[in-house]
Structure 1
């Protein structure tokens, strides 16, 4: 039944993407940004993630098979890249670099952060992409179910956006010291998550 598929898809993607759980990470990687820039990052990241997940649902399985790319390889690559960002956050490199950036470079930085690591691999990571591909396989090419799946993707990414918008007042309450501490804590968590991505990818690769 389409209703059962809708509920299953919604629960699956909400659990995998975890919009509320992304709020501390959003605060950490947008530390030092003005409110307008944070909003721009939230909008861009949500749109990018929605596009990637929708694309994965429509052509993801075919594309990965065509390019001979496995999900374990994607997970390992994402983990290595995410670890580089996490190390910068822990050692405060991002703070020092942010203060040296001119105002005309802010827009470029907003685009970069929105795409990586926020949209990929945190929002549209290997787990979310895998879930989208598997859910697409359950549609049996039924146009109604495909439309429902795309609608669920839009809803989940919209929920992420709303959570990111709510994060800005939280950042104001934390203040400068609180944000500095949070950024380093989140950096440690992201580093552990990055290592876990690599471990899971290696295990999956060795199991095949």
Structure 2
């Protein structure tokens, strides 16, 4: 085991910014109003399981279709770039389906809101740079944070307010944009060597 606090912290921050659980509080509250009770434990565990499973199987799936991790990391950096622009500019580029016929704890909360295209792409992009055990620890910490936020979302919204959530979202958007540029630059070099 090669645990590195800096890698864990960086991976945690990247995933935290991509998942944007604080910025999604208004969506979570709206979902609670539509469907009633949301099972925070179930949503957190399923989202964590999807992310860890994809972390292990994603590389094999890529190999099966003939794409290397660096190419995927570049593609992931582009996706992160657009997610960051959404957060900073307050526009929606990616539109999610609003289907609440299934249980809201699994769909759309665990997938695709928490473990969605952005976070899954990010995991494989991180795998190109960081060691596996550090990413797993970062995922677990994020799942714990997600659980706490889901449990206390109404209280957090009252405490921070709509403006506070918008400010946090924009700050994490700028951080995510910088990370996307770094990830793109690091992996694009490998492709052209």
Greater mean deviation of Cα atoms: 191-200 or 77-86: 191-200
Q: 2:100 aligns with which of 104, 118, 127?
A: 104
CA distance in 1 between counterparts of 2:165 and 2:40 reads 14
Cα distance, 1:24 vs structure 2 = 5.3
Which residue pairs with 1:54 in the alignment?
56
Q: TM-score, normalised by structure 2?
A: 0.66
- Give RMSD over aligned pairs: 3.7
Selected match of 1:76 from 65, 74, 78: 74
Q: Is the 8 A contact 1:19 1:160 kept in 2?
A: no
Q: Could you tell me how far apart the structure 2 residues matched to 1:14 and 1:54 are?
A: 22
Task: Output one character per residue of 1:61-107: Cα deviation in whole Å (capped at 9) or x when no partner.
Answer: x655553322221111001112222212212124xx89xx8673895
1:141-160 alpha-carbon deviations (Å, 9 max, x no partner) = xxxxxxxx7xx986654333
- Structure 2 alignment gaps of length 5 or more: 30-37
- Specify whether residues 41 and 116 from structure 1 end up closer, same or farther in structure 2 by C-alpha distance, changes over 3 A only: farther
Count of residue pairs brought into register by the alignment: 172
TM-score between the two structures when normalised by the length of structure 1: 0.62
Structure 2 match to 1:92: 90
Structural mapping, 1:118-137, within 5 Å: 118-121=119-122, 124-128=123-127, 131=130
Instruction: Please say if residues 51 and 139 of structure 2, whose CA atoms lie closer than 8 Å, have aligned partners that are also in contact.
Output: yes
Rg larger in structure = 1
More helix as a share of residues: 1
